Amino acid sequence: MLSWLFPKKTQTETPVYQEHKEDFSDVTIVAEYFKELTGVTFDKQISILNSKAKSFCQNNNIYSYKELLNKISQDKVLKQELINRLTTNETFFYREFNQIAELVSLIKQESHPVRILCAPCATGEESYSIAIALLESGVASNKFKIIGIDINSDAIDRAKKANYRERNVRNLSEELQQRYFIQEGESFQLKSDIKQLVEFHIFNIFEERFKSLEKFDYIFSRNMLIYFDADTKQKAVEVLRSMQKDQSKKIFFGHADLF
Ligand SMILES: C[S@@+](CC[C@H](N)C(=O)[O-])C[C@H]1O[C@@H](n2cnc3c(N)ncnc32)[C@H](O)[C@@H]1O
């Protein structure tokens, strides 16, 4: 009676423990995969890659680099997390300011509104620096549009939030800090009228869909090529050239990028 209320006792199941054979002996398969995907080479920093990739695997219960590559081929979120873990996003406001000043003087000579690309933009400081420098030199905000792209989705999220620390704004005068940021304790929040002058997107410059962006009058590509080998630098330069409206114009690279 009432037996249907109680499930039949089944034989106690013995949990099956899958044996995982840990193998982090050959990180070169990760290095090759990552270079193919992003252009970034770890040839001279293989032990740094090994420690980052191994801790990434351990945090995600992955027991070997082969398993990592298998999982990544099926899991876009995990793939993006690996990209975020292995790319370096160091940047700050008014970095190598002489190039920004040169861009400003070129734009002042333009009679039409210009499109400016920052590829890569990391956490946004370079793109916002260009906006600030243009406004400071009297260029009206409707005379330019700045687009920042980066392969690192965490960096793009932070760029959109535009909340910085003292070390990010250290090159700005106190006057500029006060004019463009709301400071609360340690935090420097960029004001919304500057934020809206810049658009940010996640893009890998080697992806086909990057080329579908409308072309640009001016391109900044600083401190990304330093992570590429000679052949990949060449490919990156070709991609960036193809994004220019007028190829006779200069692309702004970082001082260490092309050597
Ligand atoms: C050091 S930051 C440079 C930021 C800024 N341009 C500057 O000079 O201060 C380098 C950035 O390049 C990005 N990056 C690396 N490979 C990339 C690729 N294939 N496509 C887009 N961004 C990439 C990284 O995610 C990183 O944020």
Q: What is the pLDDT of residues 111-130, one digit of tens each?
A: 999 999 999 999 999 999 99
- Exposure string over 26-65, b if 16+ CB within 10 A, otherwise e: ebeebbebbbebbbbbbeeeeeebbebbbebbeeeebbbb
- Domain identity same for 34 and 122: no
Could you tell me the distance, in angstroms and rounded to a whole number, from the CA of residue 89 to the centre of ligand 1? 6
Tell which atom from ligand 1 comes closest to the C-alpha of 90. Answer: 1
What's the chain's Rg over C-alpha atoms?
24
Ligand 1 centroid – CA 80 distance (Å): 14
Distance of CA 11 from the midpoint of ligand 1 (Å): 57
Give the model's pLDDT for residue 4.
47
Ligand 1 centroid to Cα of residue 150, in Å, is 6
The reply to whether 129 and 249 lie within a common domain is: yes
Q: In the chain, which residues have pLDDT < 50?
A: 1-7
- Residue 118, domain CATH: 3.40.50.150
Identify the domain boundary among 36, 58, 86. 86
Which of the listed residues 58, 86, 114 is the one where a domain comes to its end?
Answer: 86
CA 6 / ligand 1 centre spacing (Å): 61
Nearest of 114, 106, 149, 105 to residue 245 by alpha carbon: 114
Tell whether 49 and 103 lie within a shared domain. no
Let me know whether 80 and 103 are in one domain. Answer: no
Question: Hey, whose CA ends up nearest to atom 20 of ligand 1?
Answer: 204
Query: Residue 7 domain-assigned?
Result: no
* CA-nearest residue, atom 26 of ligand 1: 89
The answer as to whether 179 is a domain residue is yes
Q: What's the CA-to-centroid distance between 223 and ligand 1, angstroms?
A: 7
Contacts of 176 (CB under 8 A, 6+ apart): 132, 136
Task: Identify whether residues 116 and 138 lie together within a single domain.
Answer: yes
Point out the domain boundary residue: 37, 66, 86: 86
pLDDT at 188: 98
Residues spanned by the domain of 52: 28-86
Q: What is the pLDDT of residue 162?
A: 98
Question: What's the pLDDT score for residue 16?
Answer: 61
Of ligand 1's listed atoms, the one at least distance from the Cα of 203 is 21
Pocket of ligand 1 (CB under 6 A): 38-40, 87-91, 95, 120, 122, 126, 150-152, 155, 204-206, 222-224, 227, 254
Q: Do 63 and 108 belong together in one domain?
A: no
pLDDT digits (tens, 9 = 90+) for 134-153: 999 999 999 999 999 999 99
Total domains in the fold of the chain: 2
**Within-domain flag for 9:** no
Q: How far is the CA of 181 from the centre of ligand 1 (A)?
A: 24
- Total H helices, total E strands in the chain: 10, 8
Pocket test for ligand 1, best of 224, 234, 251 (most atoms within 8 A of CB): 224
Pocket test for ligand 1, best of 37, 87, 253 (most atoms within 8 A of CB): 87
